Amino acid sequence: MSGTDADRSMTDEEIGAWWSTGVTRIAPGEIDLRGYPVQELIGRVSLVETVWLMLRGELPDPGHARLLEAALVAAVDHGPQAPSIAAARMAATCGVGLNNAVATGVNLLGDVHGGAGQQCIAVLEHMAALRGEGASADEAAGAVVEDHRARKAHVPGFGHRFHPLDPRRDPLVDRVREAADRGLVEPTHLESGLALEAALARGRSRPVPMNIDGATAIVYASLGFPAELGRGLFVLSRSVGIMAHAWEETGSGARIKGPLPRRVLAGYHGPDTRHLPE
């Protein structure tokens, strides 16, 4: 029996199960998000609460929603020197639509640019496992730093190529500390992140402070989001900045704006000019 014949023999219920989902139910005149009629959510539930609902299946405690919102706001943009922003702006001058320009920027958010938050959550989860085996936060941090130094690898979420102290660190750390003090989250990941920061600074003349990726990793891990969703939440946040920059560039009137001003040519280190034989 061919695939087409098999499809024709399926019942409506079997066909409906092809993309069965626990996220959204639709029917004529009806849309339920995780069981809630959308018309009841509109105007009563914030976007951040809806993000939580869609990812976690239930509406968040107001304190959890505020903590998630703080992390999403903190990571929304870092200016056109960020490759994802620059790429979106360049794309916007090439005659593509806004959605294409935004997609261009979002698609640059990978392991190197945009992935440190996910990687830091994985480190925090590893430290939590070490602490579950009896290690203190300082001991777990020391083991992580020693391992990364032995591999000549950077500890994700710490240090910044531009900021001596990331201005987004303290507000997020303070909010996690407040949430822990109120019993909204466990302090484990905050303690681990601060212990890592201290371990990295030990023996150095200049500290290696936590950056936005480390701070948001502490937030997302404390709220129970797995590492990969941490990256997804960063992408969700940064896509707002990407869209704003792409839209601004769309209105600039510039055409085919490359990575360098026209008066500046890229350096060249290939062979001298040469010619084919006569």
Whether residue 104 is contained in a domain is answered as yes
Query: Is the dihedral angle over the CA atoms 219, 222, 224, 229 positive or is it negative?
Result: positive
Residues near 48 by beta carbon (within 8 Å), at least 6 away in sequence? 65, 68, 69, 72
User: Of the candidates 172, 170, 160, 156, which has an alpha carbon nearest to the alpha carbon of residue 222?
Assistant: 172
Q: Could you tell me the pLDDT band of residue 118, with boundaries at 50, 70 and 90?
A: very high
Query: 157 and 114, same structural domain?
Result: yes
Contact between 160 and 211 under an 8 Å Cβ cutoff? The reply is yes
Q: What is the domain extent for residue 43?
A: 25-60
The whole-number pLDDT of residue 5 equals 58
Whether residue 41 is contained in a domain is answered as yes
User: Is residue 204's pLDDT more than 90?
Assistant: no
The CATH number covering residue 218 comes to 1.10.230.10
The whole-number pLDDT of residue 205 equals 81
Distance CA 180, CA 168 (A): 19
Question: For the chain, how many structural domains are there in total?
Answer: 2
Whether residue 196 is contained in a domain is answered as yes
Q: Could you tell me the pLDDT band of residue 1, with boundaries at 50, 70 and 90?
A: very low
What mean pLDDT, rounded, does the chain reach? 95
- Global pTM? 0.92
Token pair for 9: 């023999």
The whole-number pLDDT of residue 9 equals 85
Strands 30-33 and 36-37: antiparallel
Side by side, which strands form the sheet with 24-27?
24-27, 30-33, 36-37
Query: 46 and 113, same structural domain?
Result: no
In this predicted model, what pLDDT tens digit does every residue of 56-109 receive, in sequence order? 999 999 999 999 999 999 999 999 999 999 999 999 999 999 999 999 999 999
Chain Cα centroid distance, residue 169: 15
Residues near 265 by beta carbon (within 8 Å), at least 6 away in sequence? none
Percent over 70 (pLDDT), the chain: 97
Whether residue 257 is contained in a domain is answered as no
Whether residue 43 is contained in a domain is answered as yes
In this predicted model, what pLDDT tens digit does every residue of 7-54 receive, in sequence order? 668 898 998 899 999 999 999 999 999 999 999 999 999 999 999 999
- Return the number of other C-beta atoms located less than 10 Å from residue 45's C-beta: 18
User: Is residue 160's pLDDT more than 90?
Assistant: no
Distance CA 4, CA 31 (A): 31
